[in-house]
């Protein structure tokens, strides 16, 4: 899929135009971006000109929007420090870009002179003014705190930098009937087993695609997840039904390095292609909900809770560091709610 993006002016507002041949999957993804609009006049999809969207569509900052020489050196040191601590390349990229935006805002000010008041001003005069998301604000605060923890001479008091209040969003959950329709939608054994493994083991997309044949322990009926999120290994139980499916799959596809490989042998399956596999399953199953792969993981956790599994075990299975993260599933479990009788029934 080929596309290009560039900055445009639309109704005197700076926007990012995205050009591509008509593709329903990309249109659906663009529609999910806050502020995305279709221009009938210019016949193009366009998005707010924000650091998030510039990063998303690989648009370079404008020539006069670059950090100072000192800031460039500090950002590079920050990257090196994160690499030495084994942060993922994704986190390094996200944090360094967020810090870069912050230091561009204060390009005329020495890094050592930046204080807590400057963080508040940046939040109000840049993040909030440009209607950037709370998650972007949170990432920026994380980056600023981590950066200034590694800089010795500073006027920043790291402990006094506060994160934005998070929106309390409930995870999206599918019913067991919907899950069954999705998992039975594909006749292709690779597509079927990939979606089935995500649901049956509560895997993240990246965890599934990093699996190797040696990570399947058929003697103990477990899956070993190596270097999962947060650089933590964990094990999850393997359903005997899934094991039978895996044996059939192995005979047909004969994977080499990774359990699920793409068109190039020895290379992992592409995450975007896997999203498309789910989208096709939803269409075949006649399910209109905008489900993502992570919905399968949410559904796994919720269904375990509804069947009586202790929350502490679910926390271990999902690889959550904090029990508070796992407790969110108690708010979407319907087991207790369905037993409550509405007073309307007695009228």
Our answer to whether residue 229 is catalytic in this structure is yes
Tell me which residue has tokens 């400057």. 118
Our answer to whether residue 19 is catalytic in this structure is no
Our answer to whether residue 162 is catalytic in this structure is no
Interior/surface letters 10-23, b for 16+ CB within 10 angstroms, e for the rest: beeeebbbbeeeee
Query: CA distances (Å), 31 to each of 22, 27, 109, 154, 166, in order?
Result: 14, 6, 38, 42, 23
Q: What is the pLDDT of residue 161?
A: 84
Residue ranges of domains in the chain: 3-56, 69-160, 176-331
Q: What is the pLDDT of residue 163?
A: 76
Nearest to 107 by CA among 122, 93, 92: 122
Measured from the Cβ of residue 183, the count of other Cβ atoms closer than 10 Å reads 19
* Selected catalytic residue, list 109, 145, 190, 320: 320
**Max CA pair span of the chain:** 73
- Are the C-beta atoms of residues 282 and 290 closer than 8 Å to each other? no
Our answer to whether residue 298 is catalytic in this structure is no
Measured distance CA(95)–CA(291) in Å, rounded: 28
CA dihedral (268, 274, 275, 280) in degrees, to 10, reads 160
The domain 176-331 belongs to what CATH superfamily? Intergrase catalytic core (1.10.443.10)
3-class secondary-structure state, position 43: coil
Q: Which residues contact 109 (CB under 8 A, 6 or more apart)?
A: 118
Interior/surface letters 216-245, b for 16+ CB within 10 angstroms, e for the rest: beeeeeebbbeebeeeeebebebbeebeeb
* Selected catalytic residue, list 56, 79, 226, 229: 229
Measured distance CA(227)–CA(95) in Å, rounded: 20
Reduce the secondary structure of 279-324 to three states and give it as a string. HHHHHHHCCCCCCCHHHHHHHHHHHHHHCCCCHHHHHHHHCCCCHH
For 90-103, how does the pLDDT look when each residue is reduced to its tens digit (9 = 90+)?
788 889 988 998 99
Our answer to whether residue 204 is catalytic in this structure is yes
Measured distance CA(226)–CA(210) in Å, rounded: 8
* Selected catalytic residue, list 10, 107, 145, 204: 204
- Residue ranges for the chain with pLDDT beneath 70: 1-2, 12, 59-65, 166-169, 227-231, 334-342, 344-345, 347
Backbone angles phi, psi at 220, to 5 degrees: -105, 0
Tell me which residue has tokens 């920026």. 140
Note the CATH architecture for domain 69-160: Orthogonal Bundle (1.10)
Measured distance CA(182)–CA(216) in Å, rounded: 24
3-class secondary-structure state, position 252: helix
Our answer to whether residue 297 is catalytic in this structure is yes
Measured distance CA(323)–CA(311) in Å, rounded: 8
* Selected catalytic residue, list 54, 100, 191, 297: 297
Q: What is the pLDDT of residue 63?
A: 45
């Amino acid at each position: 899929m080929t596309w290009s993006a560039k900055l445009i002016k639309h109704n005197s507002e700076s926007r990012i135009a995205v050009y591509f041949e008509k593709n329903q999957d990309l249109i659906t993804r663009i529609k999910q971006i806050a502020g995305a609009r279709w221009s009938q006049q210019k016949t193009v999809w366009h998005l707010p000109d924000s650091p998030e969207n510039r990063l998303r569509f690989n648009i370079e900052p404008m020539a006069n929007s670059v950090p100072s020489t000192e800031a460039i050196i500090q950002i590079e040191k920050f990257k090196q420090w994160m690499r030495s601590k084994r942060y993922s390349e994704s986190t390094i990229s996200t944090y360094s870009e967020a810090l870069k935006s912050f230091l561009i805002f204060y390009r005329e000010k020495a890094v050592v002179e930046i204080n807590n008041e400057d963080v508040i001003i940046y939040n109000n005069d840049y993040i909030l003014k440009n209607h950037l998301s709370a998650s972007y604000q949170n990432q920026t605060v994380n980056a600023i705190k981590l950066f200034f923890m590694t800089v010795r001479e500073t006027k920043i008091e790291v402990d006094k930098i506060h994160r934005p209040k998070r929106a309390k969003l409930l995870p999206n959950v599918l019913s067991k009937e919907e899950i069954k329709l999705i998992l039975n939608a594909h006749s292709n054994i690779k597509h079927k087993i990939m979606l089935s493994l995500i649901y049956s083991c509560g895997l993240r997309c990246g965890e599934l695609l990093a699996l190797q044949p040696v990570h399947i322990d058929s003697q103990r009926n477990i899956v070993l997840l190596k270097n999962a999120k947060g650089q933590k290994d964990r094990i999850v139980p393997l359903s005997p039904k899934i094991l039978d499916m895996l044996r059939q799959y192995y005979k047909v596809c004969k994977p080499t390095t990774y359990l699920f490989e793409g068109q190039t042998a020895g290379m992992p399956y592409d995450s975007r292609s896997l999203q498309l596999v789910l989208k096709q399953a939803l269409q075949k199953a006649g399910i209109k909900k905008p489900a993502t792969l992570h919905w399968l993981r949410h559904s796994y956790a919720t269904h375990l809770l509804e069947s009586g599994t202790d929350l502490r075990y679910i926390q271990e299975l999902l690889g959550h560091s904090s029990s508070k993260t796992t407790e969110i599933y108690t708010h979407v479990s319907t087991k207790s709610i369905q037993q409550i009788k509405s007073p309307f029934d007695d009228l």
